Amino acid sequence: MGTPEKKRPMYLLSYDHGGYVLWGEHLEAQLASAYDWLAKYPGFKIGLDNECFAYDIYSEIAPHIMDGIKEALKKYKGRFAKVCRYTPAMRIARVLKKIKPLKALFA
């Protein structure tokens, strides 16, 4: 009998630029899907990449979306990250390895 193969993590990197311009009021459904995955799969990590101004807009028209993001940053610390600028996919991969949420934006 051979030596058991060492389990290695599998990384799936997807780049889906978002924010108010692209998602509008549909961002809430996308976030709900991400929260479901975080709850269901303890090893799952996700980093959002939305325009910074999107959060100003959502704060005005849908503050509950911002409340959900703030809650997720606390609940899924180390697994949920928020990036607030145009960020290439490989940058998101590095952020997910060292997740340090931008607390100043969500304090």
Model confidence, pTM? 0.66
Inside any domain, residue 25: yes
Q: What is the dihedral of CA 19, 25, 27, 30, to 10 degrees?
A: -150
Query: Within a domain: residue 34?
Result: yes
What are the DSSP calls for 32-78, one per residue? HHHHHHHHH-TT--EEEEB-HHHHHHHHHH-HHHHHHHHHHHHHTTT
CB 9 within 8 Å of CB 43: yes
pLDDT in tens, 64-82: 998 999 999 899 988 888 7
What is the Cα–Cα distance from 11 to 92, expressed in whole angstroms? 12
**95 part of a folded domain:** yes
Domain span at residue 41? Answer: 20-106
pLDDT of residue 94: 60
- Overall domain count for the chain: 1
